[in-house]
Amino acid sequence: MALPFLVVLNGVPIRVGGVALHLDQLAACLLLVPLGASALVGARRLRADSTVWWLGALLVANIVASVFNSPARSYSLLQCVNLASVWVIYLLVLNFVERDDLERFFHRCLWAALAASVIGITAYLLNVAGVPVGGAEVSESAAERLTNAYGAYGTMVEPNIFGSFSAAYLVISVVLLAAAVRVISAPRDVRLLRWVAAATAAGLVFSFTRAAWLGALVGLGLFVALSRRMLGIKIRLRGVFVSLGVAVAAAAVLWVLPGSAGDLFRFKVDNLVNIASPTAFLRLVSYGIALQQTADHPVVGYGTFSFAALTLQGADFQRFDNWHNLWIGNYLLLALHDTGVIGLVLWTALIAGILVRGFRAVRRLRAVDSGLTARTLALAVGIATLLVPFLATTGFTLGYTWLLIGLLGAHCRAASV
């Protein structure tokens, strides 16, 4: 039950001997012990669905590519362990969160999203006011010369990740608010959803992340397209307008704000889908380099997170300054580069399977439990929302993504019972 709060601390690692340890990954590894023990003694049946098997196949593909092709084999294999410790969060949620616990666990996720958003917003406002508390990048060099990602990030890795997180929870809360009259009876639940929608809307704006803005629009559009067919309800916007008004107000303030922050915001809005903008162009250059490298091992790939080692010509790449900036911020291209066509096919099947199972569960639950149906649809649409910003900065290596996917998996399991 603490995992929803631990996954939002991905930007606050514990450093031990030069290694950054994340609390959610440590907790996940510890929770494997009772899960495995209870399965061995027969006290619990270990649950595994198609997502678990796809993740297992992807892990094998990463290990094989790293062993045979990575120029930094030890580093790549260590990153395979890192990925496994994140992906196992899905298995844990699938097995530990029973049907009776789904609503309580989901509320924990909402409270964690609210807390993370408030921290990010507060950090941004304090830093802009001249109080250097961290949790936001507001330097003039970031705003004017794009040396770093500008915006709020709070306890998360960077503004792009914070923006993606905010977009997903904004869509989830708005979906449930739009169906609130039909499926949510407790006034305190409606209030919590409104607070989450308002906080994540403001956090999304202050993240200055165009891809996350587009992701939120795509997610909300997908919900509008599916709501009547999936839920059989007419969307009720009265409870939604107040929450989304926060995003409009924050955007209006930034639009008229003088100085570098206002200039950057207006630039990003004006260039919302402009692939020739400076930041988009830099990404395209790195993607071109990655594709050139992929041509050498198109079937199996170069190994897990091998892009930096290949670009800097050697396994000693970690001694170079800013080598962390050498990464592939696109989950599809990352899969192709690291695990080849095999990994890309596995990854595509994994994502498609997650969404298809989610929407099928919505259809099965529709006549059984309206509240569970709405939550399942909200989670499926929220996860689909992440697919857009993760084309510019992948968060599939972070725990909060797999917590949401695991919660959707638990809802799908409840639908099949």
* Higher per-residue confidence, 286 vs 263: 286
The pLDDT value recorded for residue 414 is 87
The pLDDT value recorded for residue 317 is 56
Distance CA 368, CA 30 (A): 36
Which range has the worst mean pLDDT, 57-71, 99-113, 303-317, 324-338? 303-317
- Give pLDDT tens digits for 85-100: 999 999 999 999 988 8
Residue 168 has pLDDT above 90, yes or no: yes
The pLDDT value recorded for residue 286 is 79
Is 154 within 8 Å of 11 (Cβ atoms)? yes
The pLDDT value recorded for residue 380 is 95
Closest CA to 128 of 272, 268, 262, 266: 262
Distance CA 148, CA 347 (A): 29
Structure-token match 């972070």, residue found: 398
Neighbours of 148 (CB within 10 A): 14
Closest CA to 176 of 414, 386, 376: 376
Residue 114 has pLDDT above 70, yes or no: yes
Residue 249 has pLDDT above 60, yes or no: yes
The pLDDT value recorded for residue 392 is 87
Distance CA 16, CA 27 (A): 16
Residue 271 has pLDDT above 80, yes or no: no
Work out the widest C-alpha separation in the chain, in whole angstroms: 65
**Which amino acid is it at 224?**
V
Residue 235 has pLDDT above 70, yes or no: no
Is the Cα torsion angle 337, 341, 343, 348 positive or negative in sign? Answer: positive
Structure-token match 């917590």, residue found: 403
Can you read off the two tokens belonging to residue 151? 């915006």
* Higher per-residue confidence, 110 vs 184: 110
Whole-angstrom distance between the N-terminal and C-terminal Cα of the chain?
23
Residue 241 has pLDDT above 80, yes or no: no
For residue 304, what pLDDT band results from cuts at 50, 70 and 90?
very high
* 3-class SS of residue 19: strand
Q: In this prediction, what percent of the chain has a pLDDT beyond 70? A: 81
Distance CA 335, CA 400 (A): 20
- Give pLDDT tens digits for 15-47: 776 667 889 999 999 999 999 999 899 888 889
CA distances from 388 to 12, 120, 175, 385 (A): 25, 21, 18, 6
Residue 259 has pLDDT above 80, yes or no: no
CA distances from 291 to 63, 281, 286, 300 (A): 21, 15, 9, 14
Closest CA to 161 of 116, 105, 95: 116
Question: Please, how many CA atoms are within 13 Å of residue 18, restricted to the half-sphere of its CB?
Answer: 2
Compute the mean pLDDT over every residue in the chain, rounded to the nearest whole number: 85
Closest CA to 173 of 154, 152, 200: 200
Residue 181 has pLDDT above 60, yes or no: no
Torsion of Cα atoms, 404 then 406 then 410 then 412, to 10°: 80
Answer whether 0.85 is exceeded by the pTM: yes
Which range has the worst mean pLDDT, 72-76, 111-115, 318-322, 340-344? 318-322
Q: Which residues of 251-273 are buried (b: 16+ CB within 10 A; e: fewer)?
A: beebeeeeebbeebbebbeeeee
The pLDDT value recorded for residue 279 is 64
Distance CA 228, CA 358 (A): 16
Question: Please, how many CA atoms are within 13 Å of residue 235, restricted to the half-sphere of its CB?
Answer: 16
The pLDDT value recorded for residue 225 is 82
Distance CA 164, CA 117 (A): 12
Q: What is the mean pLDDT of residues 341-349?
A: 96
Distance CA 60, CA 77 (A): 11
Residue 117 has pLDDT above 80, yes or no: yes
The pLDDT value recorded for residue 186 is 64
Is 174 within 8 Å of 243 (Cβ atoms)? yes
The pLDDT value recorded for residue 242 is 61
The pLDDT value recorded for residue 372 is 86
Which residues are bridge partners to 212 per DSSP? Answer: none
Closest CA to 65 of 399, 398, 390, 57: 57
Residue 118 has pLDDT above 60, yes or no: yes
Q: What is the mean pLDDT of residues 170-187?
A: 74
* Higher per-residue confidence, 189 vs 379: 379
Distance CA 265, CA 150 (A): 10
Is 257 within 8 Å of 267 (Cβ atoms)? no
